[in-house]
A = this chain, B = another copy of it.
Amino acid sequence: MTLRARQLHLNVNLLHSGVYPSAWRLPGSRPDAFVSIDHFVHVARVAEKAKFDAIFFADTPAINDRVDYRPINALEPTIVLASVAAATSHVGLIATASTSYNEPFNIARRFASLDIVSGGRAGWNVVTTADAAAGRNFGREGPVEHGSRYARAREFTEVVHALWDSWEDDAFLGDKASGRFVDPAKVHPIRHRGPHYSVEGPLTLPRSPQGRPVTVQAGGSDDGRELAAATADAVFSLAQTIEDGVAYARDLRARTIRYGRAPDAIMILPGLATVIGSTEAEAQRRQEELWEQVPVEYSLARLAGTLQVPVERLVLDEPLPDPLPLPENANHTMFRGTVALARRGNLTVRELLRALGGGVGHRIHVGTPEQIADDMEAWFRAGAADGFNLMPDVLPDGLEIFADAVVPILQRRGLFRTDYAGDTLRDHLALPRPASRFAPGSASRSA
C-alpha cells in the first residue's frame, strides 16, 4: 500500500429494519427483514459497493425489548455473517458475541473459522451483556455483576487472542511428496490457567488470514475502556457532542499507551444515526413520519429500562428525576449517554424521547447529505472520531441514500476511499497483521 492521508472508516449496523423502532412500517420496508437473509445480504452489498469498512451486527442472547411492537436482533450473528460472506467479497463482517455466556475456545474457533471462510474479513465485537433476561437463559437469576463481567471478559479475550496465535503462520505444510501435513513444532498448546478459565489449546485450525480477527469493543464504562485499551483494535463508542468525542478519544489513547500500545492503535468509531433528506425540511419530515409511528408508551418503557427506574417515575412534561444514580447492572454507556443528553438540553421526558428517536442514546443527525458530510468531517478533523458506526434510520433505504448522496461528497473531499486498497478487514482499517506470539523472534515467544 502506498502512503496516503488518514481517511474515515465507515461501518454500518445491520439493525434489522433500521434504528427507528417504526422503520419496519415504512412503505419500502419489509416487516420480516429481521429474519431474512436476503435483506442482510442486500444491505451488505450496498455497503460493499459504497466501499464501507464493515457491516456490524449487535446482539443480545435474549429478548430484551417489546416484540409486540418492533423487531429485535433475532438471528445468531455469526450464522448470518457466514452466509453473507458467501455473497460478498470485500466488506468486513463484525459480529457481537458475549464473554459472559460463551466459552473462549468456541468463540476463538468460530471467529477464526469465519475469518477463513470470508478470506480475512472477520471481526469480533466483545460484549459482556448486562441484560438480566440473558442471564436467565444461561442458568442465572440475573446478569453477572459488572466488575466480575469485565474481569472475565479481559481474561476471556486474552485466551481467545492466544488461541488465535496457537498455530504459527507457516505451520501448515500440505506436502504431498513427503507426506508431511503440518509441522507439529509450530502448533502450540496455550496452557492457560487463570482465575476464570483453563484452556489447553491449541485451536483446531491454521492461523486465519488476518492472524487475529479484528477485536472490537463497545463499552464506555471505566472497565469497558480498560478492556478496550488492553485488547481492542476498534471501539464502537458513544458520544453526543464533539467535545465528548474528543475527551473520550484523549482518555482512551492515554489508557492505550499505558498498556504499551501505540496511541492510535485503536480505531475510534462513534455511533451515528442518520435521517437524510435532500433538503433539511424533507429530512425533518422523514424523522417526523418515523417518530409519529412510535407509541409513546413503548418509548417510555424503553427509557425506563435503560435508566432502570419504574416507568411511573418518568413524567412526560417534566425533566428526568434528579438525582438519578447509576444502577448496579445498567448498561453504563447507554445510561450515561441518555442522562447526558437530557441534562445538556434541559429536556423534558417527552423531548428526550424524541431526541432518542426510540433509540438507545446514540447521536442522531437529521439533515441533508452535505450537512451530514460536514458534521462527519468536523468530528474527524477535531480528533473526535476515526470514522463512524452508522445506524441508518431505515434499512436498506437509509443506507442506500447515504451511499448515493453522502459517500460521493466524502470521496470528493478525499476523506473516504474510492476503492478497497486491500482484501482484509485489517487492510481496510489500516491495522497491522499481528505476528503470532509463538513465532520465532516474537517478544512474547515465552508466553
Contacts and interface: CB of A to CB of B under 8 A. Distances in A.
Interface of A: 22, 24-25, 31-32, 35, 37, 41, 60-63, 67-76, 78-80, 82-87, 101-103, 105-106, 109-110, 113-114, 116-117, 133, 136-140, 172, 174-176, 179-184, 187, 197-202, 204-206, 293, 295
Given A61-B105, A82-B79, A205-B75, A70 B181 contact: yes
Contact of A73 (B67, B72, B204): B204
Nearest to A63: B204
A197 B69 CA distance: 31
Nearest to A88: B86
Given A176-B31, A199-B137, A205 B74 contact: yes
B136 A80 contact: no
A61 B116 CA distance: 17
B82 A184 contact: no
Contacts of A72: 204
Given A85-B83, A176-B31, A106 B117 contact: no
A434 to B, nearest CB: 19
Ranked nearest first, the 7 interchain pairs of A and B with the lowest CB-CB distance are: A31-B174, A86-B86, A82-B82, A136-B200, A74-B205, A79-B113, A67-B182
Contacts of A136: 198-200
16 contacts: A22-B179, A31-B174, A60-B204, A63-B187, A67-B181, A67-B184, A68-B180, A68-B184, A69-B179, A70-B181, A79-B79, A82-B83, A84-B86, A102-B103, A105-B138, A133-B200
A23 B198 CA distance: 35
Nearest to A180: B68
Contacts of A133: 200
A69 B116 contact: no
Given A35-B116, A206-B35, A139 B197 contact: yes
A176 B24 contact: yes
Interface centre among A41, A204, A205 (most CB of B within 10 A): A204
Nearest to A72: B204
Given A67-B184, A82-B83, 11 more contacts: A35-B116, A35-B206, A61-B109, A68-B180, A69-B180, A74-B205, A79-B117, A82-B82, A136-B200, A137-B199, A137-B201
Given A79-B113, A87-B86, A24 B205 contact: no
Nearest to A167: B67
A32 B79 contact: no
A199 to B, nearest CB: 6
Contacts of A62: 204
A141 to B, nearest CB: 9
B78 A79 contact: yes
A182 B74 CA distance: 13
A75 B68 CA distance: 38
Contacts of A82: 78-80, 82-83
A142 to B, nearest CB: 11
Contact of A137 (B60, B137, B139, B200): B200
A181 B63 CA distance: 14
A183 B86 contact: no
B106 A102 contact: yes
A68 B138 contact: no
A86 B117 CA distance: 12
Nearest to A81: B82
A424 to B, nearest CB: 15
A60 B105 CA distance: 12
A182 B68 contact: yes
B76 A109 contact: yes
Contact of A35 (B68, B201, B205): B205
A168 to B, nearest CB: 13
A154 B112 CA distance: 30
A123 to B, nearest CB: 14
A205 B293 CA distance: 23
Nearest to A173: B31
Given A74-B205, A183-B68, A204-B61, A80 B137 contact: no
Given A31-B176, A179-B69, A74 B138 contact: no
Nearest to A109: B76
A429 B33 CA distance: 29
